[in-house]
Structure formats: structure tokens, C-alpha cells
Amino acid sequence: MLQACSVANSSAGYIGHRGDYHNVFLTRVEELGIPLHMGTEVVGFDEDKPSVFLKDGTEVVGDIVIGADGIKSKTRELVLGFKDAPKSSGYACYRAFFPGAWLKDDPLCAHFVEKDVLNVYIGEDAHVVQNTLKNGEEVGLHQTDLIV
């Protein structure tokens, strides 16, 4: 599912689709019998226990607390003690994900899906990252451009 990627003979990490990472994580959580609290809202935390407090008054204690709730993060607000609104970097990011079969018959693009690769193209105020997954069966494109 997730495959190791190397760049210039060095370990660059793992390349995978976000959904694949979620599946690996959730499968392991289930194997370990860790309860998931879906549809709940965290309203506070205790970094010394560590624990979190849910909106319904429940306290959930664990070995570690990880807040990974994205750009509209409640975690950031709780940790900092104030609302920290996102600020524009001046860049726009675009992502696309599609079947590698769309490129296999095109002589200009077929080499992108012959095997799993990671290509990074860097220009002034822009970059593109192209990667393939699952032996070229899936393609990801990520582009960033300056928009200010």
C-alpha cells in the first residue's frame, strides 16, 4: 500500500495517497483496540496527564495527545490560548490525483508511469511535484504558484 521512496540513493520517506495513510493508521488503531471518539469536540486538554476534555464532559486519558485537525485547528487555539487565524503565504496550491492509465498511451507522458517516481520541478515562485504510486497505477500532481 505505502511504498518506500528514495531520491539520489537516500531515504526520502514514503509516498502514498492520504486515504492509504488513513487506512494504515485506522487498521493499526483497531488492531490495538484503541477506542475512537468520532463526532466529538475537544474543548480542553491537560498536558501533564495527558488527556483531553470532550464537549460532553468526558475526559479521555492517553499516553500522548496529538492534535492534527488542519487549517481550522481547534488544537492550535487551545495550545496557544488565543484564536490564530490562518494567514495567506501569497501562494496558491493545486492538487490532482488520477489513474496512471490516462498517461500510459501518450508517448510524451508514458515514462512518468513506468514505475514509481518522485519528480520535483522548481522555478521562480513556483514548483511542481509529480509522483506515481502502486507501480504507476496512480498519479499525484501538486503545484504551488505565487499569486500576490
pLDDT in tens, 81-128: 888 877 888 999 999 999 999 999 999 999 889 888 888 998 899 999
- What is the model's pLDDT at position 50? 94
Q: In terms of Cα–Cα distance, which of 24, 73, 125 is closest to 143?
A: 125
Which cell numbers in the block locate residue 23?
A: 487506512
User: What's the rounded Cα separation, in Å, for the pair 143 and 120?
Assistant: 10
CA separation (Å) from 106 to 96, 101, 111, 128, 136?
18, 10, 9, 20, 14
Other Cβ atoms closer than 10 A to 40: 13
Segments making up each domain of the chain, as ranges: 37-85, 91-146
Least confident of 4-8, 65-69, 72-76, 142-146: 4-8
Q: Is the pTM of this model over 0.75?
A: no
